[in-house]
Amino acid sequence: MGCSSPNQTKLNQDETFTTIDSIIGENQKNLLILDSTSKRTDSTITGKVEKTVKQISTLKEENTKLKKENEALKDKLDDIGNGGKPFELLPVSSGKSNR
């Protein structure tokens, strides 16, 4: 059988409330840290997305430019007019020069 005085019960309640207040305070600090971290993360992600979109736009422009250059080179090669004559490979014998 146990017995406690009203003063001891009051002391335990005060300790419990102090502990609960401490836990709530720590929780609020953690929530502030989490909110700050979340905002920084969102900012970083937004920056990376904007950079990626800008790179995609630049790559599209570069791709268009390269396609135009390729077409110009094709046109030049078509205009050379080699007459469709095939080239001839001469055999190379060992020890002799074909000149």
What are the structure tokens assigned to 27, written together? 């929780």
d(CA 13, CA 10): 5
Q: Which residues, including other chains, have CB under 8 Å from residue 87's CB and lie 6 or more apart?
A: none
pLDDT at 30 (0 to 100): 95
Q: Mean pLDDT over all residues of the chain?
A: 83
pLDDT of 12 strictly over 90: no
Query: Quick one: how far is CA 70 from the chain centroid?
Result: 31
Encode pLDDT of 80-90 as tens digits: 765 566 777 78
User: 13-23: buried (b, 16+ CB within 10 Å) or exposed (e) per residue?
Assistant: eeeeeeeeeee
Encode pLDDT of 13-56 as tens digits: 778 888 888 999 999 999 999 999 999 999 999 999 999 999 99
pLDDT at 26 (0 to 100): 94
What are the structure tokens assigned to 15, written together? 């300790």
pLDDT of 69 strictly over 70: yes
Residues comprising the chain, all counted: 99
d(CA 27, CA 20): 10
What are the structure tokens assigned to 3, written together? 């017995």
Q: What is the percent of the chain where pLDDT is above 90?
A: 53
Higher-confidence residue of 27 and 12: namely 27
